[in-house]
């Protein structure tokens, strides 16, 4: 009898252990349960270190018969109505980061943003930045005022030849950029209802923004060469509007062609200067002068 009682006791203990283990397993997450998605740290929606804005031109002053001075742009803009394309090309400038650490520069082609009250810019380009004393080169696109987006499937390096185009089909813009040196290309399409399509631009830029909202210091870049005569890429720098179809900068006429010099917003010191257009009216070079 003692043995039977002992066996029943052991059996009850075993059952209790199974019940306890079952309860414990039920309280644990399922082995097949997935952890919530987390942001991808290499997502192309995030620029290196922090977002750099490539916004409309900040006018400093107009110099009659010469051009305009800007606090953030240098290069050329043409004005008109109903622009449907702008095509550009350039070499990715090398930056001298030992001379100007923690500085930034962007080079792009786009539509809109040149005239006062024009608050969108449809653009794609490349950056030549100095992260400390380390050069950083990458391609990007932006439908300002939306944030810029890094194009990580078109890697770039100093000296690469880039071609880029912004087109409008009646309802949407398509931004296309190609590294002609490597053959890599990227396109993106988006509607932007507020775009006025009143200018086309070929620009070297000091992007925004400092902690106080000002423009970032301009990286010491080698010559920024834009256009067919500098790159060998045909039909650049060309644009199309309601009166000119795929024409070089010069064909838009003296009253609509604007040469832009970049100057410091506080001191007025010259930061970047474009040359005159080449004899065929397609090309120019922007030279760095100061941060």
Domain residue ranges in the chain:
59-288
| pLDDT one-digit tens code per residue, 142-152 | 999 999 999 99
Is 50 exceeded by the pLDDT of residue 3?
Answer: no
Average the pLDDT over 209-235 and give the result.
Answer: 95
Residue 76: per-residue pLDDT: 98
Q: Report the chain's mean pLDDT, rounded to a whole number.
A: 87
Cα separation, 282 vs 148, in Å, equals 27
Residue 124: per-residue pLDDT: 97
| Residue-level length of the chain | 291
Cα separation, 99 vs 103, in Å, equals 10
What confidence tier does 16 reach under pLDDT thresholds 50, 70, 90? Answer: very low
What pTM did the predictor assign? Answer: 0.83
Residue 211: per-residue pLDDT: 86
Q: Are strands 185-190 and 173-179 parallel, antiparallel or unpaired?
A: antiparallel
Cα separation, 209 vs 202, in Å, equals 21
Is 80 exceeded by the pLDDT of residue 282?
Answer: yes
What confidence tier does 119 reach under pLDDT thresholds 50, 70, 90? Answer: very high
- Residue 288's H or E segment, with its range, is strand 284-288
What confidence tier does 36 reach under pLDDT thresholds 50, 70, 90? Answer: very low
CATH fold, domain 59-288, is Jelly Rolls (2.60.120)
């Amino acid at each position: 009898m003692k043995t039977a009682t002992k066996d029943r006791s052991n059996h009850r203990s075993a059952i209790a252990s199974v019940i306890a283990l079952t309860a414990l397993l039920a309280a644990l997450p399922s082995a097949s349960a997935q952890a919530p998605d987390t942001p991808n740290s290499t997502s192309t929606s995030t620029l290196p270190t922090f977002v750099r804005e490539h916004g409309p031109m900040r006018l400093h002053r107009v110099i009659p018969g010469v051009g305009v001075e800007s606090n953030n742009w240098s290069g050329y803009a043409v004005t008109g109505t109903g622009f449907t394309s702008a095509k550009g090309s350039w070499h990715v400038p090398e930056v001298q980061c030992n001379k100007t650490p923690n500085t930034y520069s962007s080079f792009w082609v786009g539509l809109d943003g040149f005239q006062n009250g024009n608050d969108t810019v449809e653009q794609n380009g490349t950056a030549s930045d100095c992260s400390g004393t380390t050069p950083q080169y990458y391609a990007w696109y932006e439908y300002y005022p939306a944030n810029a987006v890094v194009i990580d499937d078109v890697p770039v390096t100093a000296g690469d030849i880039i071609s880029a185009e912004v087109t409008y089909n009646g309802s949407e813009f398509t931004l296309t950029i190609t590294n002609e040196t490597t053959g890599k290309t990227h396109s993106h399409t988006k509607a932007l209802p507020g775009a006025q399509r009143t200018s086309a631009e070929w620009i070297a830029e000091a992007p925004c923004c400092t902690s106080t909202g000002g423009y970032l210091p301009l990286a010491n870049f080698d010559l920024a060469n834009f256009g067919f005569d500098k790159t060998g890429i045909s039909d650049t720098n060309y644009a199309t509007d309601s009166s000119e179809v795929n024409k070089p900068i010069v064909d838009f006429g003296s009253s609509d062609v604007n040469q832009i010099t970049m100057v410091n917003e506080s001191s007025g010191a010259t930061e970047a200067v474009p040359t005159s257009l080449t004899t065929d009216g397609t090309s120019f070079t922007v030279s760095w002068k100061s941060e």
